[in-house]
C-alpha cells in the first residue's frame, strides 16, 4: 500500500510526481510505467530539442491552439500558465530561449536537459518500469491497480498514461465516458504532380477543406508524398475527427497567396500591366517561389505566354489557382516530429479545476490521456504541465497542503 500511484512516467506523470514531492515531501509515491524508461517521449520531442511551451502571442483564442479541451485548459492554465512553466524550469537551472515562431526551447537545444530536470525533481518517487497497468478498481476507500497478475493499492491514483491505444481496457471497471482515440497532427498524402516540387516551402498559405469550416494558415511544405508544414499539421488537428470519419479522403483547397480573390486580381493585374511583354513565368509575386509559380501558371493553362496574351479568362484561371487551388487528400502520413492522439477520457468525467473524477473521488487524470490535444508549437506539453500541476495540487490538498 502506498499513498499515491501515478500511472505513466511521461511528461504529465513525472511533473505531477515532482510537484507532489515539492508540496508534501513525506508522501509515498509509486509510478507504474509500461515502458523501459521514464520520459521516453519527452526525450524525442521537438526533434530532440523539446519545444516545452509557447508564448501564445500568435493565438487569438485558446480554441485555436486546443481544438479539444479548451474549457479544461483554460481552468488549468489559470492555475499554472506559461509564465509558471518558464519559472518552474528556470528555477531548476534550465536556461530557455524563445524562437521567432513563439516556441520556447531549452537554450541547450537538448530535450535531455528537460528529461534530467524532471527526473531530478521527481526523485524520491519510486518508479517501477515495465509495469503495464491493465485495470483500476475503485474500492471506495482506496484503489487497486492491476498489472497483469500483480496488484498495487493506494489511497489516490493519478492517471497520466498519454494517448491511449484503441482497445485500452484499463478503465473498463470504472464506467467512464471515453472519446474514441483518433490520430492528430499528421501530414497529408496527395497523389498529384505538385509533389515534383518537393522540398519547396511557401511562407504563409491558408489550407482548407471545402464545404466545411476547417481551415488553418501558416507555412506549407511540399513533400514527396504530399503536403506538410505548420498549415497542414494545424488543419490535421482541427480536422482529426472529420478526416477519420471520411477514411482520410477529402478535398483540399490551398490559398497560396493567403488573400481573397479580389486582392489576388489586384496583385496579379498590377504585375500584368507593368510587364505586358514579359513571359508569365518570369515575373511573380514575392510570396510565391518561382518553381511553384511555373507549376501554377501551367495548371491555369497560361504557361509559355506573355502577360499581354493571357486575357480575362487566363487572369481568372490564374487567380483561382492562386487562391483556391484544389487537391485531394488520399491518406495520412505520420509526421515524424510531433504526433498526438485526440480522444481519451471524456472531459465530462472530471472536475475541470481539480482533474478529479466526478464518479470516483480520489482518482485524477492529467495530460494526453484526457480528451485534450493541441496544434504543434509546445501547446501539448503546456497542457501536460498545467493539468499535472492541478492534479498534484488537488491530491496535496488531501494531505493538508494549502500552498498555491
Ligand atoms: C515525436 C513527438 C514529438 C513531440 N514533440 C512535441 C513538442 O516539441 N512539443 C509539445 O508540446 N508536444 C510534443 N509532442 C507531444 C507531447 O510529447 C505529448 O503531448 C506529451 O508527451 C503528453 O504527455 P503525457 O504525459 O500525457 O503522455 P506521455 O508523455 O506519452 O507519457 C505517457 C506514459 O504513460 C505510459 N503508459 C501508457 N499506458 C500505460 C499503462 N497502461 N500502464 C503504465 N504506463 C503506461 C507510457 O509508456 C508513457 O511513458 C510530441 C510527440 C511526439 C510523439
Q: Is the CB of 34 under 6 A from ligand 1?
A: yes
Name the residue ranges covered by the structural domains of the chain: 2-183+338-398, 186-334
| Closest C-alpha to ligand 1, atom 41 | 133
CA-to-CA distance for 11 and 386, rounded, in angstroms?
11
List, for residues 269-279, the tens digit of each pLDDT value. 999 999 999 99
Contact 106, 51 (CB under 8 A): no
Question: In this model, does residue 166 exceed pLDDT 80?
Answer: no
- pLDDT score recorded for residue 1: 85
Q: Is the CB of 82 under 6 A from ligand 1?
A: no
Q: How far is the CA of 176 from the centre of ligand 1 (A)?
A: 21
List, for residues 122-139, the tens digit of each pLDDT value. 999 999 999 999 999 999
Contact 36, 313 (CB under 8 A): no
Q: CATH number of the domain at 2-183+338-398, please?
A: 3.50.50.60
Q: Is the CB of 160 under 6 A from ligand 1?
A: yes
Q: How far is the CA of 251 from the centre of ligand 1 (A)?
A: 31
Question: What percentage of the chain has pLDDT greater than the value 70?
Answer: 99
Nine-digit cell string for 367: 495530460
Q: Is the CB of 135 under 6 A from ligand 1?
A: no
Arithmetic mean of pLDDT, 24-32: 97
Q: Is the CB of 371 under 6 A from ligand 1?
A: no
Instruction: Report the nearest atom of ligand 1 relative to the CA of 170.
Output: 41
- SS3 breakdown of the chain: % helix, strand, coil, rounded to 5? 35, 25, 40
- pLDDT score recorded for residue 169: 85
Q: Is the CB of 41 under 6 A from ligand 1?
A: yes
List, for residues 56-105, the tens digit of each pLDDT value. 999 999 999 999 999 999 999 999 999 999 999 999 999 999 999 999 99
Question: In this model, does residue 334 exceed pLDDT 80?
Answer: no
Q: What is the pTM of this model?
A: 0.94
List, for residues 262-271, the tens digit of each pLDDT value. 999 999 999 9
Arithmetic mean of pLDDT, 234-256: 97
Contacts of 100 (CB under 8 A, 6+ apart): none
CB burial of residue 351 (10 Å; 0-12, 13-18, 19+)? middle
Q: How far is the CA of 163 from the centre of ligand 1 (A)?
A: 7
Residue whose C-alpha is closest to residue 228's, from 258, 205, 251, 257: 205
Q: Is the CB of 361 under 6 A from ligand 1?
A: no
Q: Is the CB of 11 under 6 A from ligand 1?
A: yes
**For 145, which DSSP code?**
E
Amino acid at each position: 500500500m502506498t499513498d499515491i500511484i501515478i500511472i505513466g512516467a511521461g511528461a504529465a506523470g513525472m511533473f505531477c510526481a515532482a510537484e507532489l514531492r515539492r508540496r508534501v515531501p513525506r508522501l509515498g509515491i509509486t509510478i507504474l510505467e509500461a515502458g523501459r524508461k521514464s520520459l521516453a517521449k519527452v526525450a524525442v520531442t521537438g526533434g530532440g530539442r523539446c519545444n516545452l511551451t509557447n508564448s501564445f502571442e500568435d493565438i487569438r483564442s485558446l480554441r485555436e491552439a486546443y481544438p479539444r479541451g479548451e474549457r479544461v485548459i483554460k481552468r488549468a492554465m489559470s492555475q499554472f500558465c506559461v509564465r509558471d512553466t518558464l519559472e518552474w524550469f528556470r528555477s531548476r537551472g534550465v536556461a530557455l530561449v524563445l524562437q521567432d515562431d513563439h516556441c520556447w526551447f531549452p537554450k541547450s537545444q537538448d530535450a535531455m536537459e528537460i528529461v534530467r530536470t524532471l527526473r531530478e525533481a521527481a526523485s524520491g518517487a519510486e518508479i517501477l518500469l515495465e509495469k503495464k497497468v491493465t485495470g483500476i478498481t475503485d474500492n471506495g476507500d482506496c484503489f487497486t491497480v492491476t498489472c497483469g497478475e500483480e496488484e498495487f493499492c493506494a489511497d489516490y491514483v493519478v492517471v497520466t498514461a498519454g494517448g491511449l491505444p484503441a482497445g485500452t481496457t484499463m478503465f473498463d471497471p470504472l464506467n467512464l465516458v471515453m472519446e474514441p482515440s483518433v490520430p492528430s497532427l499528421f501530414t497529408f498524402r496527395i497523389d498529384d504532380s505538385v509533389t515534383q516540387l518537393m522540398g519547396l516551402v511557401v511562407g504563409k498559405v491558408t489550407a482548407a477543406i471545402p464545404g466545411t469550416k476547417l481551415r488553418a494558415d501558416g507555412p506549407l511544405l511540399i513533400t514527396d508524398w504530399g503536403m506538410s508544414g505548420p498549415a497542414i499539421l494545424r488543419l490535421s488537428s482541427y480536422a482529426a475527427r472529420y478526416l477519420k470519419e471520411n477514411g482520410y479522403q477529402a478535398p483540399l483547397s490551398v490559398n497560396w497567396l493567403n488573400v481573397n480573390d479580389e486582392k489576388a486580381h489586384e496583385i496579379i493585374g498590377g504585375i500584368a500591366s507593368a510587364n505586358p511583354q514579359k513571359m508569365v513565368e518570369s515575373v511573380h509575386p514575392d510570396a510565391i517561389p518561382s518553381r511553384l509559380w511555373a507549376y501554377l501558371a501551367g495548371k491555369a493553362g497560361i504557361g509559355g505566354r506573355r502577360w499581354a496574351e493571357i486575357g480575362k479568362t487566363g487572369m481568372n484561371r490564374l487567380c483561382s489557382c492562386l487562391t483556391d487551388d484544389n487537391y485531394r487528400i488520399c491518406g495520412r502520413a505520420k509526421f515524424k516530429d510531433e504526433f498526438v492522439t485526440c480522444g481519451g477520457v471524456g472531459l465530462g468525467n472530471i472536475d475541470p479545476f481539480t482533474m478529479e473524477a466526478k464518479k470516483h473521488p480520489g482518482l485524477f487524470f492529467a495530460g494526453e490521456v484526457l480528451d485534450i490535444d493541441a496544434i504543434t508549437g509546445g501547446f501539448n506539453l503546456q497542457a501536460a504541465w498545467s493539468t499535472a500541476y492541478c492534479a498534484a495540487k488537488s491530491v496535496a490538498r488531501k494531505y493538508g497542503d494549502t500552498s498555491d
